[in-house]
A and B are shown apart, each in its own frame.
Chain A
């Protein structure tokens, strides 16, 4: 079974803190994604990566950065957390190819106070 894990299920941070969200997949997938999920809205893509060392901006990259130093790990960084970044963050991975399904991690619920 494909397994995508995220470092924390719940996280509480203060405004201005630097926040790291880690995602690891164990199926040698090339593509990895970071989304945020908010009530009443569809998933919104923050960043994605087609392969190691590669990154592409999604629809809402402002306030975020990413790192992909190893194929299995994709990190999302909030440089200076703000209250409007309180959200559920979902990581996903897939085999290279747009028609392939994405496999999601369980999510990290981040609260910024």
Chain B
């Protein structure tokens, strides 16, 4: 079966760095997406990785290792507004998105 695993919840301190992991087992791989979803709001796109390595976009970076079936989202200089759920989604060989359940990130002052 196809499976995406993310931690259910994480807590971090304002100004710190946090890494949210995502491991996957899917039938084929055509890229991995990260979305952010604030409570009660629509998910919004953060990043897309299809090649191994780190992609940096301001305070957010996303890393992919296809051989390990692993990705992480790195958030630096955390702000209170970063409190949200972070969704990992993998596109399989049929170009369908398989979504993880999301990681709820709580930022404390």
Contacts and interface: CB of A to CB of B under 8 A. Distances in A.
Interface residues of A, number: 18
A45 B31 CA distance: 18
B102 A101 contact: no
B98 A104 contact: no
Given A42-B87, A99-B31, A105 B42 contact: yes
Given A90-B43, A99-B31, A106-B41, A41 B91 contact: no
A11 B98 CA distance: 27
Interface in B62-90: 87, 89
Contacts of B99: 42-44
Q: Helix, strand, loop or mixed for chain B's interface?
A: loop
B42 A98 contact: no
A45 B95 CA distance: 13
B55 to A, nearest CB: 14
